[in-house]
Amino acid sequence: MADQREDQHAPGATATIEDTDRSPRVANRAAFTKPAEISSYEIVTHYFKAASERLGLPDDVEAVLRSSYREVQVQVPVKRADGKIHVYSGYRVQHNGARGPYKGGVRYHPEVELDEVRALASLMTWKTAVVGVPYGGAKGGINCPVQEMEPSEVEAVTRDFIHKIDRVIGPMRDIPAPDVNTNAQVMAWMMDEYGKLHGHTPAIVTGKPIALGGSHGREAATGRGLVYAYREAAPHLGLPPDQTRVSIQGFGNVGSWAGRILQGLGCKIVAVQDQQGEIVNPDGIDTEALTKHLREGNHIEEFPGAEPVAVEEFLSTEVDVFIPAALGGMLHGDNAHLVNAKMIVEGANGPITPKADEIFTERGIWVIPDILANAGGVVVSYFEWVQNLQHFSWDEREVNEKLGTIMRRSFREVHHRSREDDVSMRIAAYQIGIERVVEAARTRGYL
């Protein structure tokens, strides 16, 4: 879920599969790269129910935790360059606030709809609880075609949205952040609009530009968090970094940072896929050079340091670690059998459907779940909020060290629980998250 992408112009983030798939090698590429038909809501609800049943939560408590606390839908009209008013829908869903102010990103995408925002909001509740940052879970979105819009139109939509949800957000109430297709600039507009109504309030959003109170280390935080998760997990599989081969699906903010940091540790990134294609090099892909190549607007398959391959070949490349860092539902019942890895570290929110999860469990592939592995972004967002509230700034070394401490501790807690209860890391993480939320809610007298 995540929440907080900072780079709207991340490599490969624009065109559709149909637009850009020019490879005659695979007629069925779209079928292989399309997310599963199951919705994010169904995926998250399935895992939540599996964990809540194990915990023996009473039905009434389960019903409270399954539904949202508040769902706001607003009309967001904007006069566009064609002279017409276009009307979009804006959503802010606050799932559960027992542990602190609501926290979660805002996504701009034509396919944003309430059910998906709901699912992502609930993931934030469990994620913030698993890593122990004092927040509840929220998510937002506007169903606007942001990639066709002028910056001035995006600004107008952003300001109108904040104006309309003003009453339900606040630095001690609900703190938005970037997500898919929103970035530091959008956060700056949000902060400015909120400031017009309430005075200068940097802590109202995270993922801001550094000049406006953003945190050092935020841009790389989710990728760096994935690497901390890998480093904790790898010794259990006897995998030193210099013998670790990695495949990355999705090479935007999360995937490219994870790739670059892993390469710095000595891992070999042997396969990469983005929306446009897939490449393999058994001797290792230079991820710094690939990031630059994509930033310059080039096609992934034209990268000189690797060979283009068919999508099936990308998925079945033999690796130690597979990192899905693209969309939800990308690994599903029809393609999970192809994945040839010892460990999967989930960068995306909900990238594995329940059917694929079952297949990975049967095949002994160790899955480090999203609500643990990709929590680095919200952890550093928490640091940003704390720095804003203190009117103080930390350097990047301090941010990364504190992130490492939280990720290591969280991994060990989830791993310990997984062993103790003989359940997957995912169910263990959900159990810990749910227990912490229930404890907070009961103590406050909500349940």
User: Is position 44 an interface residue for ligand NAD (rule: CB under 6 A)?
Assistant: no
Dig out the tokens for 243 from the structure.
């013998």
User: Is position 325 an interface residue for ligand NAD (rule: CB under 6 A)?
Assistant: yes
Residue with tokens 């970037």: 178
Tell me the residue nearest to ligand NAD as measured from the CB. Answer: 252
User: Is position 13 an interface residue for ligand NAD (rule: CB under 6 A)?
Assistant: yes
User: Is position 341 an interface residue for ligand NAD (rule: CB under 6 A)?
Assistant: no
User: Is position 400 an interface residue for ligand NAD (rule: CB under 6 A)?
Assistant: no
User: Is position 2 an interface residue for ligand NAD (rule: CB under 6 A)?
Assistant: yes
Q: How many CB atoms lie within 10 A of CB 382?
A: 25
Q: Judged by CB under 6 A, which of 190, 348, 403, 414 binds ligand NAD?
A: 348
Smallest separation (angstroms) from ligand NAD to the CB of 348:
3
User: Is position 326 an interface residue for ligand NAD (rule: CB under 6 A)?
Assistant: yes
User: Is position 128 an interface residue for ligand NAD (rule: CB under 6 A)?
Assistant: no
User: Is position 250 an interface residue for ligand NAD (rule: CB under 6 A)?
Assistant: yes
Contact predicate 373/226, CB 8 Å: yes
What ranges in 236-375 are assigned the alpha helix state H? 253-265, 287-295, 311-316, 354-362, 370-373
Smallest separation (angstroms) from ligand NAD to the CB of 15:
9
Q: Distance between CA atoms of 186 and 158, rounded to whole angstroms?
A: 7
Which is nearer to ligand NAD, 107 or 245 (by Cβ)?
A: 107
User: Is position 33 an interface residue for ligand NAD (rule: CB under 6 A)?
Assistant: yes
Q: Find the catalytic residue in 139, 208, 268, 342.
A: 139
Q: Distance between CA atoms of 49 and 72, rounded to whole angstroms?
A: 25
Residues within window 210-249 making contact with ligand NAD, judged by CB under 6 A: 222, 249
Q: How many CB atoms lie within 10 A of CB 53?
A: 11
DSSP state of 284: -
Smallest separation (angstroms) from ligand NAD to the CB of 1:
4
Strands 102-108 and 174-178: parallel
Number of residues forming the site for ligand NAD (CB under 6 A) = 32
Q: Judged by CB under 6 A, which of 101, 137, 213, 252 binds ligand NAD?
A: 252
Q: Distance between CA atoms of 265 and 257, rounded to whole angstroms?
A: 12
Dig out the tokens for 189 from the structure.
């507009």
User: Is position 259 an interface residue for ligand NAD (rule: CB under 6 A)?
Assistant: no
In 3D space, the residue among 155, 135, 134 whose CA is nearest the CA of residue 146 turns out to be 155
Q: Judged by CB under 6 A, which of 12, 176, 329, 433 binds ligand NAD?
A: 12
User: Is position 315 an interface residue for ligand NAD (rule: CB under 6 A)?
Assistant: no
Smallest separation (angstroms) from ligand NAD to the CB of 79:
28
User: Is position 17 an interface residue for ligand NAD (rule: CB under 6 A)?
Assistant: yes
Q: Judged by CB under 6 A, which of 131, 154, 175, 180 binds ligand NAD?
A: 180
Residue with tokens 């643990």: 372
Smallest separation (angstroms) from ligand NAD to the CB of 241:
22
User: Is position 377 an interface residue for ligand NAD (rule: CB under 6 A)?
Assistant: yes
Q: Distance between CA atoms of 381 and 204, rounded to whole angstroms?
A: 11
Contact predicate 146/73, CB 8 Å: no
User: Is position 61 an interface residue for ligand NAD (rule: CB under 6 A)?
Assistant: no
Which residues are CB-contacts of 76 (< 8 A; sequence separation ≥ 6)?
87, 88, 89, 90, 142, 144, 157, 160, 161, 164
Contact stretch for ligand NAD (CB under 6 A) within 133-141, 158-166, 269-277, 423-431: 269-277
In 3D space, the residue among 295, 330, 335, 292 whose CA is nearest the CA of residue 313 turns out to be 335
Q: How far is CA 169 from CA 15, 166, 188, 382, in A?
A: 33, 6, 16, 16
Q: Judged by CB under 6 A, which of 263, 275, 316, 431 binds ligand NAD?
A: 275
Q: Judged by CB under 6 A, which of 39, 68, 122, 273 binds ligand NAD?
A: 273
How many helices (H) does the chain have, and how many strands (E)? Answer: 16, 12
User: Is position 254 an interface residue for ligand NAD (rule: CB under 6 A)?
Assistant: yes
Q: Distance between CA atoms of 247 and 273, rounded to whole angstroms?
A: 8
Which H helix or E strand runs over 94? Answer: strand 85-96
Smallest separation (angstroms) from ligand NAD to the CB of 11:
6
User: Is position 369 an interface residue for ligand NAD (rule: CB under 6 A)?
Assistant: no
In the residue annotation, 402 being an active-site residue is answered as no
Q: Distance between CA atoms of 9 and 440, rounded to whole angstroms?
A: 39
Dig out the tokens for 124 from the structure.
């934030």
Q: Judged by CB under 6 A, which of 39, 291, 316, 374 binds ligand NAD?
A: 374
Which is nearer to ligand NAD, 123 or 162 (by Cβ)?
A: 123
Judged by the rule CB under 6 A, the positions of this chain that interact with ligand NAD are 1-5, 10-13, 17, 33, 180, 222, 249-255, 273-275, 325-328, 347-349, 374, 377
By annotation, the residues acting in catalysis are 139
